[in-house]
A = this chain, B = another copy of it.
Amino acid sequence: MTHDRRTRDEIVEAAHQLFYGHGFGHTSLSDIACTGKLKKGNFFYHFKTKSELLIAVIDSRLARSVALLSQLEMNAASPMQRLMGFVRSQLDDQGEVLQHGCSVGTLCIELARMQSPVLQHAREEFMLHQHWLASQFAEMGHPDQGITLATHLLVRVQGAAIMAQALEDPSIGAREISSIACWLQDLASHPACAPPAHPAA
């Protein structure tokens, strides 16, 4: 039972790494088997299909995201600090995002193109981020535009991740961090009712 659970988690972790680095479609069960100690034929004791394995991977990512966000809330006092903490966690020079792209974004794109029903589940991580960011913007004094501003922030983070990966230039991440910081500064100094200069509709 417990042993069951542990090897299952090991499979999920190995799959997470490979799906992230090479994509879902281009990762075979043999690839996953190679990294671990298990043989290929044994996956189907733990998961009925490859898609079910993917769902488990997404669940594990969601749990990580929840942990990250709550850690940001504990470590940063102001909404502005929390927002910048989020941005840095995504676009850190050392992080994987600039190298492999954002795991959520790239997965969603791949699943959308495959017309996979799992897309809906993968999307939940985006929405988790979106609503957390929106609540930070609300606390900053922009309750009505929370979702809009959150989406705009995600647009920038995703765009930076793509361009950094496509052009193999991690400095794009650092530059976008600075740019976002400027934007948030502007936003914070605006009164709540006035339309903010930038991501307004």
Contact = CB atoms under 8 A, between A and B. Distances in A.
Contacts of A127: 167
A141 interface: no
Interface residues of A, number: 49
B200 A178 contact: yes
Contact of A179 (B123, B152, B157, B179): B152
8 contacts: A22-B113, A25-B26, A26-B114, A108-B162, A112-B168, A155-B163, A182-B198, A183-B198
Given A123-B167, A175-B199, 15 more contacts: A23-B25, A23-B114, A101-B112, A108-B162, A108-B166, A126-B167, A152-B175, A154-B163, A155-B156, A155-B160, A155-B176, A158-B159, A158-B162, A159-B160, A179-B200
Interface of A: 21-23, 25-26, 100-101, 104-106, 108-110, 112-114, 123, 126-127, 148, 151-152, 154-160, 162-163, 165-168, 172, 174-176, 178-179, 182-183, 186, 197-201
